[in-house]
Amino acid sequence: MKRRHFLIKTGIACAGITILPSISCSNKKEETETGIFSLPNLGYDYAALEPKVDALTMKIHHTKHHAGYVKNLNKALENHRLKGQNLESICKSVSSKTDDIALVNNGGGHYNHSLFWEILTPNGENQPKGKLLEAIQNTFSSFETFTELFSKTGATLFGSGWVWLIVNKSGILEITSTQNQENPLMEQIVDVSGTPILGLDVWEHAYYLKYQNRRAEYIKNIMELINWTKVAEKFATT
């Protein structure tokens, strides 16, 4: 808790970074070679998730919030020991030390949002299929129970953060949440670490224009926009 309080007190803008191979990114080659990160394309229009997520929220979220994290990540890396590493490596390497705070906030912000855009689709699927569905049923007893637990975790998270479905160190699916722009790759920072395959942004900026204080309603609706095919691809590579 001391660390989280410190992050808040410093007032450093939170953002995230990620260079997952599967994340679509117009400058992926450049990022891999130079460590300079850029804002990925969404893969769909800002209005494509209407009416569940409104176009203005999507546009501000992408062009202001996410873009800010990318800009501040690149700035934070200028004279940092992790410069030149890819986004996943940066997330895995950051600690709670003062030197890393900007990378936690902005590296996390870039990673988290890149994943978020990727696992949403206008053609949301009701539920996963195949091995991912089997794994969810084995771990949570049913897809419905998983959805209930995942949604409740997001709805009850205090303040700003993310709810995740991860493959943990034992290779088991697990639901977890993180504060601010932290994520489960940050094993030196979070209590529960692993590889995220699904992440949901529950910061107010993700829903407040349309839903105001009704976070649970936002979660219920956005869970109908999940690209389970993409989540299953991520699960298959863990």
Q: What are the DSSP E strand ranges found in the chain?
A: 161-168, 173-179, 194-201
37: left (phi over 0), alpha (psi -120 to 50) or beta: beta
Bridge partners of residue 178, in order along the sequence: 162
Closest distance to Mn ion from the beta carbon of 116 (Å): 7
Q: What are the DSSP E strand ranges found in 51-172?
A: 161-168
Q: In Å, what is the CA distance from 80 to each residue of 4, 94, 115?
A: 22, 11, 24
- Cβ proximity to Mn ion, 31 vs 201, nearer residue: 201
- Cβ proximity to Mn ion, 63 vs 142, nearer residue: 63
Q: What are phi and psi of 178, to 5 degrees?
A: -135, 155
What is the distance of C-alpha 40 from the center of its chain? 14
Closest distance to Mn ion from the beta carbon of 194 (Å): 21
Closest distance to Mn ion from the beta carbon of 129 (Å): 28
- DSSP helix/strand/coil, 81: coil
Closest distance to Mn ion from the beta carbon of 177 (Å): 14
Distance between CA atoms of 72 and 231, rounded to whole angstroms?
Answer: 28
Contact positions vs Mn ion (CB under 5 A): 201, 203
- Cβ proximity to Mn ion, 80 vs 110, nearer residue: 110
- Cβ proximity to Mn ion, 118 vs 201, nearer residue: 201
Task: Give the orientation angle of helix 130-140 with respect to helix 143-156, to 10 degrees.
Answer: 70
Closest distance to Mn ion from the beta carbon of 147 (Å): 21
Residue nearest Mn ion, Cβ-based: 201
- Cβ proximity to Mn ion, 143 vs 208, nearer residue: 208
- DSSP helix/strand/coil, 38: coil
Cα angle 120, 73, 235; round to 5: 35
Closest distance to Mn ion from the beta carbon of 48 (Å): 17
- Cβ proximity to Mn ion, 121 vs 180, nearer residue: 180
